[in-house]
Amino acid sequence: METSPNTPTHAGRVVLVTGACGGIGAAIARRYVQAGAAVCLVDRDAAAGEALAARLRQEGGQVHFAQADVGNFEQCQAACDTAQSTLGPVDTVINNAGISPKRQGLPVPIWQMEPAEWRQVVDVNLNSVFHFTRLLAPGMVERRYGRIVSMSSVAGKAYLDIVAAHYSTTKAALIGLTRHLAGELGPHGITVNALAPGRIDTPMVAGAPQAANDAVTAVTPLRRLGTPNEVADACLFLTSDQAGFITGQVIDVAGGWLMT
């Protein structure tokens, strides 16, 4: 579809963003609102979700907030149901929710990791993507159109001593899942891609010791942290008509860090 430079690039689209109240998620949600999409915010934090939804509505957006723990299938199902009854069929899913538990700002060694913590990270970072794909892919297949982007990380592609094993494992698994889904869903008109951010200036990173951020900046060719808007812009591109022939890819948004 041809668009003029002034046409909102996602007008008419219905986008569901998970982890929408965090640094990157909120930037993504706002960018979609600015691009003319209706947006369903999904987050476990009800107060932050309602507040963000109210702000985005004031900015002119058609926005719905659905509280859910993305690691819980039934709660994801309820979120999808209210999103679709409020906004219409979801055609774009941004699997952004993710956690990276630390102790005193440091990653937990594998020999001290509690099984419950391992399972929680797998639920939130990985199983959530199965949940939303399982729930929303049927409608996409039926309508022969869909866009799915999952938030991996450079930590899913290379060893980093600043994250723990559960985090890097789930981020690597998302890359495998992205490639599989791209193959399986491509014949139905659905593209599936992943983003691999480097160090982005968000609350997740603000909790880390300053030295950890400085160390990353020193080995990042662009010599700074990334911004949430820079991740959001890559996300909007991957789900735009201009990216209609891109699928199964993992795009680093990392200032050249690692170049994996």
Angle at 132 between CA 129 and CA 137, to 5 degrees: 115
> Under the criterion CB under 6 A, does residue 93 sit at the interface with ligand NAD?
no
Q: Please, is 179 exposed, middle or buried when counting C-beta atoms within 10 Å of its C-beta (0-12, 13-18, 19+)?
A: middle
Pick the closer one to ligand NAD by CB: 220 or 240. Answer: 220
> Under the criterion CB under 6 A, does residue 22 sit at the interface with ligand NAD?
yes
- Compute the least distance from the CB of residue 22 to ligand NAD, in Å: 2
In the list 61, 98, 146, 255, the residue contacting ligand NAD (rule: CB under 6 A) is: 98
Contacts to ligand NAD from residues 117-136, by CB under 6 A: 124
In the list 13, 14, 16, 25, the residue contacting ligand NAD (rule: CB under 6 A) is: 25
Comparing C-alpha atoms, which of 34, 24, 86, 22 is closest to residue 59? 34
145 is catalytic: no
Pick the closer one to ligand NAD by CB: 69 or 91. Answer: 69
> Under the criterion CB under 6 A, does residue 255 sit at the interface with ligand NAD?
no
d(CA 223, CA 113): 33
Q: What is the gyration radius of the CA atoms in the chain, in angstroms?
A: 17
Using CB atoms, what's the residue nearest to ligand NAD? 22
**List 32, 145, 159, 167, catalytic entry:** 167
Q: Which one-letter DSSP state was computed for residue 106? A: B
For the chain, helix, strand, coil in percent to 5 are 50, 15, 35
Q: Which one-letter DSSP state was computed for residue 246? A: -
> Under the criterion CB under 6 A, does residue 192 sit at the interface with ligand NAD?
no
- Compute the least distance from the CB of residue 144 to ligand NAD, in Å: 29
> Under the criterion CB under 6 A, does residue 151 sit at the interface with ligand NAD?
yes
228 φψ region: left (φ > 0), alpha (ψ -120 to 50), beta (else): alpha
Q: Which region among 56-64, 65-73, 77-85, 103-111 touches ligand NAD (by CB under 6 A)?
A: 65-73
d(CA 226, CA 176): 25
Which tokens hold the place of 17?
Answer: 């963003």
Residues near ligand NAD, by CB under 6 A? 19, 21-25, 43-45, 68-71, 96-100, 124, 151, 153, 197, 199-200, 202-205
